[in-house]
Amino acid sequence: MNRLLKSAVLGLAVTATSLSALTAAEAGDRWRRHHHHRGSGDLVAAGVLGAAVGALAAGVATTSRVEYYEPVPVYRDPPPRRVYVAPAPRVVYAEGALEPWTPSWYEYCESRYRSFNPRTGTFVGYDGERRFCVAN
């Protein structure tokens, strides 16, 4: 509503300005027009021109403004961590070494390591890690 009122006032101001300038210019020109040009319609043309300029100014004043909104940031999950799985150790037995999972191997590992687990064949070392029992 406020824009419409401003546009109407602006259009009327432009029209009044153009008409007042036209009527002041015609005051000294009255004798010439009276004798040479009858009913040329200059006043009507000026009114139409002023109305057109006022309408253009009102149209420019009422054009809607485009508002810019920043895009919403998209947060993505970090990529999954890569996990390295070491290959199973390959044990090569020297001559005279005990073959794993034999009764003599069980006896050797149980007598050597107090933390020996016969199900898995491992023991807990001083560093806290489980190691496979190798009888050399």
pLDDT attached to residue 34: 55
Claim to verify: residue 55 and residue 99 sit in the same structural domain: no
The answer to whether position 82 is within a domain reads no
**Structural domains in the chain (count):** 2
Could you tell me if residue 128 is inside a domain? yes
Domain with 112 in it: 93-136
Residue 91 has what pLDDT? 58
Q: 98 in a domain, yes or no?
A: yes
The torsion defined by the Cα of 47, 49, 50 and 54, in degrees rounded to 10, comes to: 140
| Residue where one domain finishes, among candidates 62, 83, 108 | 62
Same domain, 7 and 58: yes
Domain's final residue, options 44, 62, 80? 62
Q: Tell me how far CA of residue 131 lies from CA of 8, 43, 53, 117, in angstroms.
A: 92, 110, 95, 10
- Predicted confidence at residue 119, as pLDDT, reads 93
Query: Splitting the chain (136 residues) into consecutive groups of 10 residues, what average pLDDT does each group show?
Result: 67 65 54 56 76 76 74 83 81 70 90 93 93 86
> Is 126 within the bounds of a domain?
yes
- Residue 28 lies inside a defined structural domain of this protein: yes
**Is the dihedral angle over the CA atoms 105, 107, 113, 115 positive or is it negative?**
positive
Question: For a pLDDT cut of 70, what percent of the chain falls above it?
Answer: 61
Would you put residue 120 in left (φ > 0), alpha (ψ -120 to 50) or beta? Answer: alpha
